[in-house]
Structure 1
Amino acid sequence: MPKSKVRKKAVYTPPPNERNTTPVKVAGPTHPVYIAVMLGLMLAGLVWLVVNYLAGPSIPFMDQLGPWNFAIGFSLVVIGLLMTMRWR
């Protein structure tokens, strides 16, 4: 069976008048305070949930919150996890 001819493609060169001359802003590393707050929120949510399970009924204000303790603990953890998306 005969081989087909291979076509040579021209090398692409962008038109000179359409070049983007604006410099690209490179984002630097995240500030250490941001990382501390992010980790602190995740840890605070975890501690809130553990304290709720272990000693929730014996702590008056946690006993009054009832099932809202789960919302508070999980929301702290979720906020910390959402902060990880902007961490560089």
Structure 2
Amino acid sequence: MPESRRRKPKKPTPSVNANQTRRSRPPSPPWFGGLILAFFLIGIAYLLVYYFSNGGVLGMEGLGGWNILIGFGFVVIGLAVSTQWR
């Protein structure tokens, strides 16, 4: 039975030029952690006020079920901002 040819392993190709160095990004400013916490706390507080008042707070009455989306929206924005923290 004939034997198949053996393949030579491929040599890795450098994706970055040897002369270029990768610069690390500077750390986040000190207020960035507070911004993350603020988004989380605003979202949670909004949801708690909505649930405990049964939507009876002025301005929340007309929004109905959108109040849940607004509260979770703040929490999701806080998560998105937290991924950029260094």
**1:32, 1:51 → 2: CA distance?**
29
Could you state the TM-score of these two structures normalised by the residue count of structure 2? 0.73
Q: Which has the higher helix share?
A: 1
**2:63, 2:44 → 1: CA distance?**
17
1:81 offset after TM fit, Å?
A: 0.5
Point out where structure 2 has 5 or more consecutive residues left out of the alignment: 1-15
Moved more, 71-80 or 23-32: 23-32
RMSD of Structure 2 on Structure 1 (CA): 1.7
Q: Which residue in the other structure is 1:77 paired with?
A: 75
Kindly provide the amino acid, as one letter, of the partner of residue 21 in structure 1. N
List, as ranges, runs of 4+ consecutive aligned residues in structure 1 with deviation greater than 4 Å. Answer: none
**1:53, 1:28 → 2: CA distance?**
41
Q: Does 1:54 align with 2:48?
A: no
